[in-house]
Every structure is written in structure tokens, then in C-alpha cells.
A and B are shown apart, each in its own frame.
Chain A
């Protein structure tokens, strides 16, 4: 059975209205016969069939407007259809794939973002220099049109601050923020934290031999820049533990605790020259380890290069600080308000350990918790730490 469809008659024809049949069911038709009249925006056009046979049945009522390609009638062809009169192949088959826009000829450079940018009028060149040298534009006045800050204005500011404006290509690590300003800010935050938050401290020693073995096996197949570090396992374990113990994941504001629905783990990163920042790894509980490791590396690199976004600084729901590389066995951190906990990770050491009654060497790490006693107490803290330790016994499940 062949279909007689609404034909396309023009480049801009999308649909047509069937206004008249010139045959009726049962009539014989042959290739080239005009069998219907269609009304289009240009007028009435007669349409012909390319099949030979008998009209079996009409499918569309006279007076209906249908899109091009809609079957209008069925034609019962005689025996085998002639090759030239074969049923038309499905219309969609050969549609060309949509043409994507050609790639832009020039790649735009990634815009440097300064946290807390207000609507300051400054030229692009001035902005770039300010951001590289850690100058706060909002604290400046400009000599350009309408008070806009120009490149020369920023240069003058740098000269006054005693910082030589080096060629833009040179980028000193840690110079993304005025270090003096950064330390001032840290001082204020830490003092406030100690003043306002009643800290309690817990310590837990965790056997991470299993972790190390699992990592060794996993990393054997990976290139150096993709290898997992134990810090990533710890971050994931902390994030998962936060799900079970929400009292450690959230903010204390306006005299009450707001648990956070998401777990954004702040990663404390030291910056050469004395700086410190703890930007967030968002939704850390949902990241696969490889991805978590990759994002952690990215975060560290960007922090040290001065390319952190404002949102990344502002929204960690708990922080993890690790000084293992520095050789310290345990650290008792100060909570970053408005967070309510900070987990510390020391260095992994070989210790004599008792297993099944015998003494043997194990890799052990000291986990610490500094908790906000307004929100949680030692009992909860102990459970939280124990959970982290338990999770680290099954690294393959992280």
C-alpha cells in the first residue's frame, strides 16, 4: 500500500490546505495523473500522483490544512510497484544534520575575575593590572573620563605602595591579593572565631594502611598528574560523614544553626608568602574520587595563581586542613565562621600497632576535630570522627 503525501512545492511552503479531490476511492490512477487540488499562499495548485494503482482510502478531509509530508490518501499499487513509482522513502531519513556555527576565529582570553567586584569604572587594562597586583579598585579614584580608573592610575598606586609594577607577563605567586590585606583579614576572622565560638577538640588515630595499599594499586596504572592522594580520600570521607552527622555541616548565624542541604568542603590552601585561603569543593559527597582529585588540584593551582571565584571563598560548609606534608602529626584548627567545624589531618606515620594480639607496623594518621560547642558536643564529635575513620577502612567504597 503506497501513501500519497502532501508535496513540497516550494522553498517556503510548510503546509497546504486540501481543497478538492479529483478522484474517489476505487478509481484507478497512474503516474502523472492530477488527483487533487491544494490551496497555498500563492494560490490553488494541482498536485499529481507518482504511483499507479487504485485509490484505496482518503486520510484527510477536504478543507484541512496539513504540513508538507502528511499522508493524504492510500493507493493500492498493482502487484509490484514500478521502480520509478516506488513508495517514497521516509522523509526524515536524509535530513542534513544541523549546521553548527563555525568555530570563532579568535579565542577570547578567559576574563580574570576579582572577588567582590563592584561596578567600578575602570578600563580593561587597568582592571587586569589591578587584579594581577592585588590592588582594590573600589578603594581608588580615577583620572579617566567620568572618573574612570586608567592603567596609569593603577601604576601610580603601585608606585606609591612601593610595589614595582612589573611587566604583566610576570606573575609572582601569592601576589593575587595584597598579602598585607590578606593577613589583616585572616587576623580579624580568627580573632572573632576564638572570641565567639566555644571550641572543643577531639583526636582520633586512624589506621590507613588499607588506604595506602589501595592507592598504590590504583595509582600504578595512572600518570603522575592523575594520581590520587590520601588527602582526597580524607576529603571524601569527611563529606560522606557530614551526611550522617549534619551537625557538623552548616552555618551558625543569628544565634541559630542552619544545617546545609549540600556539602561543600573547604580545602585549606597555603599561599607562598604567608597567605591562606580555604575555597570550597562543591558537593564533595557526590564527587567520584578521580573527579574530586582533579578538582582539588585545580583549586590549589588556581588559588596559588590568584584565580579563585568569590563564590568559592564564601560558601564552604565545613573545612578540612591538612599539614601532613609539613611533618606535623596533629593540628587543632580554628573554625572559620560561620562554619561550625574544622577537621585536621596530620602526617601519615608508621606506628607499632596491635592487630589480632600481635604487634606490627601500620600507617596511622591523626584526625582531629575542632567543633562548635553551641551546635555539637563531644559525644557527637566522637561519633563523627569514628565515622570518618570507618569510611577510611574501605577506600574502594569512597
Chain B
């Protein structure tokens, strides 16, 4: 996969050809070098080099204090990350995938998210938790979840979904400097994505959505791994004379209502693309916000493209049918325009 679709930077000596994975690695390196409070902790992040090879080479560079392998104790080491953050460190806890994060859910929800409010602002938890997420590698039901929407439901934490090289490189630093817990979701299908990145790319904001493609006929609102499928769908639609505006949410909690509503006010139609299961999805939340804030602009019913309500199956054709794909997004957009 290539990021060229929305590449706006000219190729010059100041850009490098890199991958999403390498961008994340560079973000971690940069943070550890610049801030002595930062360290990475998780399963197989050290000797193994990271399940997705994100932290390859970092143990040799920074040593076992800053790159800590943990036993398979998600609750234990996530809670430890919370305690360490409360006592002055800035840990990056890596939960191998969102699928295993359930074991740490109690620590995330009952400690990280609540401590500031519950203690009357005496203690805060400046922790970053990174997790791989999403389906598409035929890993079957227990390894293919997209639970960003669940986490985005919880007050007290922030939830990010970097979908581009710039965001993979730049969100981590800002998240580490945040005084509150930040969860960063990296879609597994994006790690191999190649593209160009400014050589001096650095920290970016973590609370604004981005318009990745301008258009006037319909707003396609999405995040994470689905961004690229949505851009692909937008190209298809353009061939049919439909100009779609594509919005990359980037931050799932808080949601950038202003950008979303400005787009819908302009196009009057919206389809939300969300790899979570349909019922009670983040797409449902966004749809409701649009109805609350932009009802009088709407010229068509809202649509959404989500995962089918099944545990994600193993064979490729079934997995593909279960999760959002570009043709489904095209169809949903055309339905909204009455152009089926």
C-alpha cells in the first residue's frame, strides 16, 4: 500500500521513503532520546524486536531499562504503567494487540480513566498505551477485533487512530506530553504501507480531524485502516462524477465535531466508514452527533459501512466480506445520492 494517494509534498532532498512501521519506530526512538522519563514496556518488545517489528533494534540502542520485555501479564504491566506514570515516568505500554487488551481493561477503565476525577485531581496518569488493531490477515475471530469504539466510549482517556505516515511519526510525542492517558491504535494492515515523509517530520496535534480529500457531493468520514479504502472509493466515485470529501478523524476521543459538521454543512450527505461492528459502533455515535448538530443541512439519510455482525472468520473471502471494503463504500455513497 502506498500513501501517494494524498501525497502533497514535492519530492526533494528533505523527504525520505519510509514505512508506517518505521515511522512508529522513529517516533519511539525520538521520544526516548529526548525525554528521560519515557520507556517502552510490553511483550516481546525487546529481544524479539516487537510482534510487528516496530521496536526492532531499540533494545540494542537503549538497553533493557528503557526497552522492557514483560511476561504475559497484560493487567499486571498495564497497571504497572499506570503506577509508574503516577509517580513521574512517561511509559509507553505496548499491548501486543487490542485483542489481548481485554485482560487489561480493568486497569484501563477502573484506574487509568478514573483516577484523576475520583481523587479530586490529586493524581493524574500521563500514560500512553499503543495497540495493534484490525482485521485482514486471516487471523480469525480472537485476533481480528476493532475495539477503538469501545475505548472511545470511556471518559477520562483519549483515543487516537493514526492512519498516515505523518501521524504515525508525530502523534506519539504529543501523546506522551499529555497529562492524561492516551491510547494509540495502529491498524495491522498499515505497518507495511510505504510512502514519503519529511525528513524532519515531528510532533503533530492529536485533537483535530483532517480533510484528506476535498469534495462537494458527500462526506465520507472514517479513521485508521479504513482511510485508504475510503480514498480508493472516492477515486471510483470521481470517475462517476461524484466528488466525495474524505475526512480522517485522527482522534476518536475527543471527536472533532467542528470539522465533521463543516463538511456535512457543505455536502449535505454523509457515510461513516468504521471497522467496528455496526451495532453500538463509533459510526452510530458520529451519526447521532450529525443529527444533533447538522440536521437541517441533511439532504439524504446518513449511511454507514461497518463490519458485519459476525466474529471475523479465517478464510480470505469470508474475512473480506466481513469488513468494510471500497466497493461497499462506493455503494453506500451512491445510495445516499439516490444513484444506485
A125 in complex: contacting residue of B292, B293, B297, CB < 8 Å = B297
Q: A106-B292, A106-B293, A125-B268 are in contact. Are A151 and B338 (CB under 8 A)?
A: no
Residues of chain A contacted by B268 (CB below 8 angstroms): 123, 125, 151
Interface of B, secondary structure class, is: loop
B299 in complex: contacting residue of A106, A108, A109, A125, CB < 8 Å = A125
CB of A197 within 8 Å of the partner chain: no
A145 and B339 CA atoms in complex are apart in Å by: 10
A283 and B39 CA atoms in complex are apart in Å by: 74
- CB-based contact B292/A151 at 8 Å: no
Mask for B227-244, Cβ within 8 A of A = 1, else 0? 000000000000000000
CB of B295 within 8 Å of the partner chain: yes
Residues of chain A contacted by B299 (CB below 8 angstroms): 123-126, 144, 150-152
Residues of chain A from 139 to 173 with CB closer than 8 A to chain B in the complex: 143-145, 150-152
Mask for B298-314, Cβ within 8 A of A = 1, else 0? 11110000000000000
A124 in complex: contacting residue of B292, B293, B296, B338, CB < 8 Å = B296
Residues of chain B from 285 to 334 with CB closer than 8 A to chain A in the complex: 292-293, 295-301
A143 and B337 CA atoms in complex are apart in Å by: 11
- CB-based contact B293/A123 at 8 Å: no
CB of A5 within 8 Å of the partner chain: no
Q: A125-B268, A145-B338 are in contact. Are A108 and B298 (CB under 8 A)?
A: no
Closest partner residue, chain A, to B295 (CB atom): A124
Q: A106-B293, A144-B338, A151-B268 are in contact. Are A124 and B298 (CB under 8 A)?
A: yes
CB distance from A380 to the nearest CB of B (A): 51
Q: Interface size for chain A: under 10, 10 to 19, 20 to 34, or 35 or more residues?
A: 10 to 19
A127 and B295 CA atoms in complex are apart in Å by: 11
- CB-based contact B297/A108 at 8 Å: no
Residues of chain A contacted by B338 (CB below 8 angstroms): 143-145, 150
CB distance from A246 to the nearest CB of B (A): 44
Residues of chain B contacted by A152 (CB below 8 angstroms): 299
Please report the number of residue pairs spanning A and B whose Cβ atoms sit closer than 8 angstroms. 35
- CB-based contact A108/B292 at 8 Å: yes
- CB-based contact B300/A124 at 8 Å: no
CB of A307 within 8 Å of the partner chain: no
CB distance from B22 to the nearest CB of A (A): 40
Residues of chain B contacted by A108 (CB below 8 angstroms): 292, 295
Q: A143-B338, A144-B338 are in contact. Are A123 and B292 (CB under 8 A)?
A: no
Closest partner residue, chain A, to B294 (CB atom): A124
Residues of chain A contacted by B295 (CB below 8 angstroms): 108, 124
A9 and B295 CA atoms in complex are apart in Å by: 49
A150 and B268 CA atoms in complex are apart in Å by: 11
CB distance from A24 to the nearest CB of B (A): 48
Closest partner residue, chain B, to A111 (CB atom): B296
CB of A128 within 8 Å of the partner chain: yes
A144 in complex: contacting residue of B296, B297, B300, CB < 8 Å = B300
A126 and B295 CA atoms in complex are apart in Å by: 11
Most buried by A among B293, B295, B297, B299: B299
Residues of chain B contacted by A127 (CB below 8 angstroms): 296
Q: A144-B338, A145-B338, A151-B268 are in contact. Are A128 and B300 (CB under 8 A)?
A: no
Residues of chain A contacted by B296 (CB below 8 angstroms): 109, 124-125, 127-128
Residues of chain B contacted by A124 (CB below 8 angstroms): 295-299
CB distance from B264 to the nearest CB of A (A): 10
CB distance from A328 to the nearest CB of B (A): 42
A123 and B337 CA atoms in complex are apart in Å by: 12
A124 and B300 CA atoms in complex are apart in Å by: 9
Mask for B211-227, Cβ within 8 A of A = 1, else 0? 00000000000000000
A151 and B299 CA atoms in complex are apart in Å by: 6
Residues of chain A contacted by B298 (CB below 8 angstroms): 123-125
CB distance from B269 to the nearest CB of A (A): 10
CB distance from B126 to the nearest CB of A (A): 26
A266 and B299 CA atoms in complex are apart in Å by: 37
Closest partner residue, chain B, to A123 (CB atom): B299
Residues of chain B contacted by A144 (CB below 8 angstroms): 299-300, 338
A128 and B298 CA atoms in complex are apart in Å by: 10
A150 and B338 CA atoms in complex are apart in Å by: 10
A123 and B338 CA atoms in complex are apart in Å by: 13
Closest partner residue, chain A, to B292 (CB atom): A106
Mask for A101-131, Cβ within 8 A of B = 1, else 0? 0000010110000000000000111111000
Closest partner residue, chain A, to B289 (CB atom): A106
CB distance from A344 to the nearest CB of B (A): 41
CB distance from A169 to the nearest CB of B (A): 12
Mask for A54-80, Cβ within 8 A of B = 1, else 0? 000000000000000000000000000
CB distance from B197 to the nearest CB of A (A): 37
A151 and B268 CA atoms in complex are apart in Å by: 9
Residues of chain B contacted by A125 (CB below 8 angstroms): 268, 296-299
Closest partner residue, chain B, to A145 (CB atom): B338
A144 and B296 CA atoms in complex are apart in Å by: 16
A126 and B297 CA atoms in complex are apart in Å by: 9
Residues of chain B contacted by A109 (CB below 8 angstroms): 296
Most buried by B among A124, A127, A143, A150: A124
Residues of chain B contacted by A106 (CB below 8 angstroms): 292-293
A63 and B338 CA atoms in complex are apart in Å by: 71
Residues of chain B contacted by A123 (CB below 8 angstroms): 268, 298-300
Most buried by B among A123, A143, A151, A152: A123
Residues of chain B contacted by A145 (CB below 8 angstroms): 300-301, 338
CB distance from B336 to the nearest CB of A (A): 9
Residues of chain A from 231 to 287 with CB closer than 8 A to chain B in the complex: none
A123 and B268 CA atoms in complex are apart in Å by: 10
Residues of chain A contacted by B301 (CB below 8 angstroms): 145
Residues of chain B contacted by A143 (CB below 8 angstroms): 338
A106 and B290 CA atoms in complex are apart in Å by: 11
Residues of chain A contacted by B293 (CB below 8 angstroms): 106
A396 and B201 CA atoms in complex are apart in Å by: 77
Residues of chain B from 17 to 74 with CB closer than 8 A to chain A in the complex: none
A124 and B265 CA atoms in complex are apart in Å by: 12
**Given A108-B292, A124-B297, A151-B268, 4 extra CB contacts under 8 A:** A123-B300, A124-B296, A125-B296, A128-B296
Would you list 19 pairs from A and B whose C-beta atoms are within 8 A, ordered by A residue?
A106-B293, A108-B292, A123-B268, A123-B298, A123-B300, A124-B295, A124-B297, A124-B298, A125-B297, A125-B298, A125-B299, A126-B299, A143-B338, A144-B300, A145-B300, A145-B301, A145-B338, A150-B299, A152-B299
Give the top 4 A-B pairs by smallest Cβ distance, nearest first: A125-B299, A123-B299, A151-B299, A124-B296
Q: Which residues on B are within 8 Å of A, measured CB to CB? A: 268, 292-293, 295-301, 338
